[in-house]
Amino acid sequence: MSIQTIGVIGAGQMGNGIAHVSAQAGLTVVMQDISEAFAAKGVANIDKNLQRGVDKGKLTAEEKAAILGRIRTTTALEDLADCDIVVEAATENWVIKKQIFETLDKVCKPGAILASNTSSISITKLAAVTKRPEAVIGMHFMNPVPVMQLIEVIRGLATSDAVYQAVMALAVRLGKTPISCNDFPGFVANRILMPMINEAIYTLFEGVATVESIDGIMKLGMNHPMGPLTLADFIGLDTCLAILNVLYDGLGDPKYRPCPLLIKYVDAGWLGKKSGRGFYDYAKA
């Protein structure tokens, strides 16, 4: 299974990171979003991150230009028809992802792999809306994609061995370390991470400590690189809430109930770093 051209759906935090590492590994990239403005913002972010590499002497200006030259943007899913693999990284919402997978199945060439970067939504369920369930797989990159080493690879019930092997090999080609798991709500990473983040939000909600104290205690006490509330802001509070709802609904255990304070912040449009306000105020930064 030869992979030369990759489609990326969504040019947000994760999508533009996936496009970045793919183009850097020499793949041709088609990045799609619902508007040209969102796609352009994604490319601008890749440009900024690559420039950081040039400034540090890790990359030449020519290499940066060549990487950017391998990335094309579009708003039409039909433009992904010739891709060998498509990695979907749109908003964490079942209805949105279902529609994308139904359309991809129709427009993508036979044999193309359809991967999702979903944090929690069932790969098996996404596969079932296509006529190629054997070619559907989870490819869960970590944030920020150019920096983080892991790709959690999730096999749906019907994922074929050939597709699984092709995706494991692709992950290595992208300079990442793939680790696989089975398809259950939240997989491994978010099944363990989100209850910790939710508990940190409950701790704030119940007035046990301030934002800074909660993060400071977890950072210094557990030797974590950042506190759970900072991490939630970086992930996106809308994404955290969507994942907790998948855990809560999918596993039926009240221990995954999202904290009302998280719901309130998302209702207010306080989505974390990407919206300028979450548990911290990024407008000040």
Which sequence positions are flagged as catalytic?
119, 140, 152, 190
Q: Does residue number 278 form part of the binding site for ligand NAD (CB under 6 A)?
A: no
The residue (of 40 and 61) whose beta carbon lies closer to ligand NAD is 40
Query: Are 156 and 123 in contact, with CB atoms under 8 Å apart?
Result: yes
**CB of 65 vs ligand NAD, minimal distance in Å:** 24
Q: Does residue number 83 form part of the binding site for ligand NAD (CB under 6 A)?
A: no
Tokens 């990239």 correspond to what residue?
29
Specify the pairing of strand 113-116 against strand 136-141: parallel
Q: Which helix (H) or strand (E) holds 154?
A: strand 150-155
Q: How far is CA 66 from CA 30, 70, 71, 80, 179, in A?
A: 15, 7, 9, 21, 30
**CB of 69 vs ligand NAD, minimal distance in Å:** 22
Q: Does residue number 256 form part of the binding site for ligand NAD (CB under 6 A)?
A: no
Query: Are 61 and 33 in contact, with CB atoms under 8 Å apart?
Result: no
Judged by CB under 6 A, the chain residues 114 through 133 that form the site for ligand NAD are 117-119
63: left (phi over 0), alpha (psi -120 to 50) or beta: alpha
Residues 6+ apart with CB under 8 A from 1: 84, 111, 113, 162, 163, 165, 166
Residue from 49, 74, 103, 143 binding ligand NAD (CB under 6 A):
143
Residue from 6, 89, 113, 127 binding ligand NAD (CB under 6 A):
89
The residue (of 49 and 160) whose beta carbon lies closer to ligand NAD is 49
Q: Does residue number 228 form part of the binding site for ligand NAD (CB under 6 A)?
A: no
Q: CB under 6 A: which stretch of 62-70, 169-177, 233-241, 246-254 binds ligand NAD?
A: 233-241
Residue type, 221: G
What is the number of other CB atoms lying within 10 angstroms of the CB of residue 109? 10
**CB of 236 vs ligand NAD, minimal distance in Å:** 5
Taking each helix axis from N to C end, the angle separating 237-251 and 228-235, rounded to the nearest 10 degrees, works out to 100
**CB of 118 vs ligand NAD, minimal distance in Å:** 5
Q: CB under 6 A: which stretch of 161-169, 192-200, 234-242, 261-269 binds ligand NAD?
A: 234-242
* Rounded Cα gap, residues 49 and 51, in angstroms: 5
Residue from 19, 21, 100, 200 binding ligand NAD (CB under 6 A):
100
Judged by CB under 6 A, the chain residues 28 through 47 that form the site for ligand NAD are 32-34, 38
**CB of 86 vs ligand NAD, minimal distance in Å:** 11
> Using CB under 6 A as the criterion, which residues of the chain lie in contact with ligand NAD when the complex forms?
9-15, 32-34, 38, 89-92, 96, 100, 117-119, 140-141, 143, 235-236, 239, 274
